[in-house]
Chains A and B, each alone.
Chain A
Amino acid sequence: DTGVSQNPRHKITKRGQNVTFRCDPISEHNRLYWYRQTLGQGPEFLTYFQNEAQLEKSRLLSDRFSAERPKGSFSTLEIQRTEQGDSAMYLCASSLVVGMNTEAFFGQGTRLTVV
């Protein structure tokens, strides 16, 4: 499978615990995005990387959230001291930005439940 891969698919954690999600983008893609999606809503932008550089972070990304893309390949999203409001689907997408082309392809998401 050469699409965007996310792990784990599901995560249940107790409030206050830390969690980490991984995203493996399509191999030749230079841009990687993280989104959060809650029930009945569209994906909301969290942050994105151009290769290994994190170029933008949304106001939704509180200090408890951190994302890395150490070698410009896979990325991790860590949430520290989880809260019930963090329960959502966390989506990763990647794109190959060439000229005007910005098509982004999504992974299957990681569904987080904080109890």
Chain B
Amino acid sequence: QKEVEQDPGPLSVPEGAIVSLNCTYSNSAFQYFMWYRQYSRKGPELLMYTYSSGNKEDGRFTAQVDKSSKYISLFIRDSQPSDSATYLCAMSARKTGGFKTIFGAGTRLFVKA
């Protein structure tokens, strides 16, 4: 079993829809949770960064972390064609000498105009 599981999609939605992207994880030591957006043939771009449980909102994006269920979500409101990309979840845990960060495989999102 992978430490971080993410449905690869693809997920196709009409413009204006609310998008829900999710990851589950197995390591309860993860404390830091990130969402990255990656356009084709580009590097990942950090969207949201959350420490521990709770919600964080930034514009059209809301990140949720439920540590009791080992489940994190990213919601995109009023989705736009420019949101079409691969969304990667990532999570980090402290370990001796630093941090361990694991990425999900990414979910491909298509927003149709």
Chain B interface size, under 10 / 10 to 19 / 20 to 34 / 35 or more: 20 to 34
- How many Å from the CB of A89 to the closest CB on chain B? 8
| Residues of A that sit less than 8 Å from B by CB | 4, 6, 40-45, 48, 50, 55-56, 91, 100, 102-109, 111
CB within 8 A of B43: which of A40, A50, A102, A106? A106
- How many Å from the CB of A72 to the closest CB on chain B? 16
User: How many residue pairs bridge A and B at CB < 8 Å?
Assistant: 52
State the CA gap A32–B90 with chains docked (Å): 17
| Residues of B that sit less than 8 Å from A by CB | 4, 6, 8, 32, 34, 36, 41-46, 49, 51, 88, 90, 92, 97-101, 103-106
Most chain A Cβ neighbours within 10 Å, of B34, B43, B44, B104: B43
